[in-house]
Structure 1
Amino acid sequence: MKSFVLLLISLLVLSGCTFPGTTDTGGTAGRTAVEVTDVIDGDTVKIIYDAKETTVRYLLVDTPETNHPRFGEQPLGPQATERNRELIEQAKQVEIEFDVGDRFDDYDRLLAYFYADGESIQEQLLEEGFARVAYIFPPNTRYVDEFRDAEAEAKDAEIGIWEFEDYSTDRGFNANAYEQTEVDGTDTADDCRIKGNINRSGNKIYHMPGSPSYEGTNPEQWFCTEQQARDAGFRSSGQ
């Protein structure tokens, strides 16, 4: 009887069978064509998988959010979503590829690499500055080196999320850094010409173009609209 049990176990191992409760991790570099039913944001879509609609999270990348319960819509989130949608909708065939680790994350989302007509969607989003390399959990790291090279290209070019200093961080995206960069980096030749000044008494005052004190004011901040200035705690010089 003992010999029979050992023989049965050996046959199961040799035939590649798995015992109930084990995790199917794939372990191949094969690709499977899928139908994308919805583009949720820059790094998440829905597909038909195993005959049902399933949410899929792109492996090894992160894009700004568009409808996060805590962060809401982050700068460049809609642009990343639209670019992701373009890559998918323009492709004749979309394929997914699994890595060797777990296929699902803690939110029960499928984890995969995506390809549009054979080209990596993740890599294209990284190259164009819509995504950063993130959520690196071994052993799902098959393309992390290639992705980091693509990310480095966008960083060097200072495009997309890398155009604004400290917007993309190791912890995610910092909307405050983006907004501050937008204000501080504004050229006085464009539409954002309202000067925000803090006087010796600590009063925050904004000066409109054409006002008597405008030319002589050295601004601490630039604003595009009066509402933006008021939201930042500044009052009009005419008050």
Structure 2
Amino acid sequence: MEELLLLLLVTAFALLRWLLFAHSPYNRIFVVFLISLFVVGCETPEPASTNHGEKQEKTSTVKTNETEVNEESSNNKQGEDPLDNFPAATVTRVIDGDTMEIEMNGKTEDVRLLLVDTPETKHPDLPVQPYGRKASQFAEDMLNDKQVRVEYDGPKRDKYGRLLAYLWIDGENFNQMLLEQGLARLAYVYDPPYTHYEAFVKAQNRAANANKNIWSMDGYVTDSGFSEKASTTESRSEEKKNDYSGPYEPEGNDRDCGDFETQQEAQSFFEAAGGPAEDPHRLDGNDHDGVVCESLPN
């Protein structure tokens, strides 16, 4: 490129020299014209793309900042806990497995858990039903004095004025937990569709297939509730519990045969804790014959 430019300059100089020494006035005018064009052509204007590039760079910066803001906003939305939209409450008392007392907004309310039914323990017209105490104990262990979130789904209250709700504890739906544990049946589907119905059906099926708790007794769970025959058995067990005067709480810490001095003491504890229908301490071994800790002296 530099060699071509040099050749052009030499050629132009030779032409100018010829024109200057020519005696025609038109030649001199033509020389002046050529010199003007040469000077103008030698000026180096600022490239138009420079400013445009600066604008593009600024625009790009703005877009980048907007993207960062949008991404930050998106991350904030993703980080939000949907449970924060539900009112907070504290469970002050467990009445039974599916009924609790809560304090919310400075007011005490009774809550009846949606879509679940646990065996009765305090029904005025029914005896204590198998696994009723176990469901109540599970609720106490999970909820007593704990903060929960209250989710409504359909009518807010029942005919007794109790709140109808799901209770969320540590990010888990307690209603569903009862079904998963085989401590409640799916019931009272009065106003479908319900938000968590499908998940509840699956939870109940898993418990039933695993023969957990209420599902371990043939014919115990019915469409209308729990078998009265099984309730009679549990009622006798409750009487035995009231008669028990041993050193351990039947619904307390887990016990094994080594905690008892005699088989009779272990047997009394076993029956007070629910007998063969429940056996939460697993004292009956693998034979399930209703006689526990047979290696202990009588």
TM-score range, shorter chain: 0.5 to 0.7
In structure 1, the residue matched to 2:108 is 53
Pair 37,166 (structure 1): closer, same or farther in 2 beyond 3 Å:
same
Moved over 2 A (4+): 177-180, 186-192
Deviates most, 66-75 or 156-165: 66-75
Q: Look up the SS of the partner of 1:37 in the other structure.
A: strand
1:191 is matched by which residue type in structure 2?
A: V
Shift of 1:188: 8.4
Of 149, 153, 156, 2:202 maps to 149
The structural deviation recorded for 1:190 is 4.3
Structure 1 residues 72 and 79, CA gap change in structure 2 (3 angstroms): same
Judging changes above 3 Å, is the alpha-carbon distance between structure 1 residues 65 and 50 closer, same or farther for their aligned structure 2 residues?
same
Q: Does 1:70 align with 2:170?
A: no
Greater helix percent: which structure? 2
> How far does residue 119 in structure 1 lie from its aligned partner after superposition?
0.5
Contact 1:165-1:177 within 8 A present in 2 as well = no
Matched, 1:170 2:200: no
2:142 to 77, 84, 87: 87
**Contact 1:167/1:173 (<8 A) preserved:** yes
2:212 matched to which residue of 1? 159
CA RMSD between the two structures:
2.6
**Residues 98 and 189 of structure 1, relative CA distance in 2, 3 Å threshold:** closer
User: Percent identity at matched positions?
Assistant: 40
Q: Which residue of 2 aligns with 1:191?
A: 291
Q: Which has the higher contact order (CA 8 A, sep 6+)?
A: 1
Q: Distance in 1 between matches of 2:149 and 2:192?
A: 21
State the aligned residue count.
160
Structure 2 unmatched runs, 5+:
1-81, 235-275, 278-283, 293-298
- Paired residues of 2:93 and 2:144 also in contact (CA < 8 A): no
1:85 CA drift (Å): 1.1
- Pick closer, same or farther for the CA change 1:189–1:78 going to 2, 3 Å: closer
The corresponding residue for 1:38 is 93
* Cα separation, partners in 2 of 1:106 and 1:31, compared to 1, 3 Å: same
Give the superposition deviation at 1:107.
1.1
Partner of 2:240: none
Q: Return the offset for 1:161.
A: 0.4
Structure 1 letter corresponding to 2:172: E
- Given that residues 42 and 63 in structure 1 are in contact (C-alpha distance below 8 angstroms), is that contact kept between their aligned partners in structure 2? yes
Unaligned runs of 5+ in 1: 1-27, 193-239
Higher strand share: 1
The one of 97, 109, 115 aligned to 2:151: 97
- Return the index of the structure with the highest Cα Rg: 2
Deviation at 1:72, TM superposition (A): 2.7
Q: Deviations over 1:112-147 (max 9, x none)?
A: 001111101111110111001000111462111100
